[in-house]
A = this chain, B = another copy of it.
Amino acid sequence: MDSITIDTINPKVLKCEYAVRGEIVTIAQKLQQDLKDNPGSHPFDEILYCNIGNPQSLAQQPITFFREVLALCDHPSILDKSETQGLFSADAIERAFQILDQIPGRATGAYSHSQGIKGLRDTIASGIEARDGFPADPNDLFLTDGASPAVHMMMQLLIRSENDGILCPIPQYPLYSASIALHGGTLVPYYLDEQTGWGLEISELEHQLNTAKSNGIDVRALVVINPGNPTGQVLGEANQREIVEFCKKEGLVLLADEVYQENVYVPDKKFHSFKKITRSMGYGEKDISLVSFQSVSKGFYGECGKRGGYMEITGFSPEVREQIYKLASVNLCSNISGQILASLVMSPPKVGDESYESFSAEKEAVLSSLARRAQALQDALNSLEGVTCNRAEGAMYLFPRINLPDKAIKAAEEAKTAPDAFYAKLLLNATGIVVVPGSGFRQVPGTWHFRCTILPQEEKIPAIVSRLTEFHKKFMDEFCG
């Protein structure tokens, strides 16, 4: 009998794609090894990763207060020692004591409740209330290892077959297309309008919903990513209200990816959670099923490696909630350090706390620098021939459109690669800059983009700008002829 081959594995796995860690990254890793083994072997001396929202891999420093508390909770037996007061801030020590008191038996190494430690959920619920001005229930919170497992859990719950559809923005973060493919559902695309700064039009939602219905698709949920990934837009309040009305009218679960809620860079935009919007419209549990995803990986903290996050679920029947609880239980619980960090992120130091000033300075330094980097990269991209780029109002990305010359598109066809992947590979080989081709996020057919993070260290931005500019000029010279 034969063993397992590529032809006999689950075809849903084969179908799933995840561009953020795709071929371009593999090439980049090889180039990096090359540079290490043979310095000077390429026309650049380092790989500049602009492909993934991973701030600390690019030298962003963790928030001191958060790490102090995590360290103390990892090794509580030092809490009473005198040396500890010399090493840690007083409010970090106090917070660690509070958190330990919230953990049954102070057992930081025990599995927790399947939804996460109750006391930490209480803290997070208070943080949500402070953010929104509306009540939050700790029993609505499910703490997860980053936001990704929460998204999978909801897709697993909602998708029964390929006849079940999930409305997703295009361009989208490929977790959604990957998760829908793995669970055997159908991604129902709705296109964001690049002309209006990646606007989300209700008429487009209606059109795509009706098209899907007429194709026999039972559309179950609408994914909204706000602030947008890879597109960087921040939704306006009026637009959010329209989206809520649409979901309510159509009986769709609103899956709100709000992991970039702290990443807003423009004074004319503000983050509003969909929970706040629905409640401010007077809608409650009976009116709409809403899931909000949050993560410790983004914001000004960028603690991707800690794998903390949560989802807040409202508007589900007790029977359905029980099923979600069961899904959470099969994996026992999320990691406790991530749970603690999620509570810290939603309840940071306050005015008067010893760490407040240094915390605020660290936070402000990260966010203002990100805003400057976004602006600099955006300006540079918009100055390139045939490139237009909406502003990064929020999140961590720019998603410029490249009007590729026909000759480049033909060359890509000959190389059996998508034209934007062709561009991204040439860019990488010429400059060491790693971006993700737009085709990995999907896009309006016939348009080409790439996603570029705003995360490289600020002092490296000028080099990125000049290398990119030089490359692009040569590229256009070569393929416009």
Contacts and interface: CB of A to CB of B under 8 A. Distances in A.
Interface of A: 1-6, 8-14, 16, 18, 20-21, 52, 54-59, 62, 64, 67-68, 70-72, 74-75, 77-78, 81, 83-84, 86-88, 104-105, 107-112, 114, 145-146, 148-149, 152, 156-160, 175, 178-179, 182-183, 220, 249-251, 253, 288-289, 297, 302-307, 315-317, 319-320, 323, 326-327, 329-338
A13 B159 CA distance: 10
Contact of A110 (B14, B56, B159): B56
A303 B75 CA distance: 13
A416 B289 CA distance: 33
A304 B157 contact: no
A148 B333 CA distance: 10
A159 B4 CA distance: 11
27 contacts: A3-B288, A3-B289, A4-B157, A4-B158, A4-B220, A4-B253, A4-B320, A5-B317, A5-B319, A6-B323, A10-B156, A10-B157, A13-B157, A13-B327, A21-B332, A56-B107, A64-B77, A70-B75, A74-B74, A83-B84, A87-B87, A110-B305, A111-B304, A148-B330, A182-B327, A182-B330, A305-B335
Q: Which of A6, A62, A179, A330 has the most CB of B within 10 A?
A: A330
Interface pairs A-B: 9 shortest CB-CB: A1-B251, A71-B75, A57-B110, A305-B336, A307-B335, A83-B83, A56-B109, A6-B319, A21-B329
> Copy number of this protein in the oligomer?
2
A1 B55 CA distance: 42
Contacts of A70: 74-75
Given A81-B87, A87-B87, A145-B335, A305 B56 contact: no
Contacts of A304: 109-111, 332
Contacts of A146: 331-332
Nearest to A184: B184
A223 B152 CA distance: 25
A437 B334 CA distance: 25
A99 to B, nearest CB: 13
A370 to B, nearest CB: 16
Given A4-B320, A303-B109, A71 B78 contact: yes
A73 to B, nearest CB: 9
Contact of A109 (B4, B52, B84, B302): B302
Nearest to A333: B305
Nearest to A302: B109
Contacts of A109: 56, 62, 302-306
A337 B306 CA distance: 7
Contacts of A75: 67-68, 70-71
A337 B74 contact: yes
A148 B328 CA distance: 12
Given A16-B330, A62-B109, A332-B146, A11 B156 contact: no
A55 B335 CA distance: 16
B145 A307 contact: yes
Nearest to A319: B6
Nearest to A11: B160
Given A111-B54, A307-B335, A331-B149, A160 B10 contact: yes
Contacts of A159: 10
B250 A1 contact: yes
Contacts of A2: 251
A253 B74 contact: no
A459 to B, nearest CB: 15
Contacts of A62: 108-109
A335 B333 CA distance: 13
Contacts of A323: 6, 9, 13-14
A1 B107 CA distance: 46
A363 B369 CA distance: 48
A320 B2 CA distance: 14
Given A3-B251, A160-B11, A305-B110, A104 B57 contact: yes
B330 A179 contact: yes
Contacts of A289: 3-4
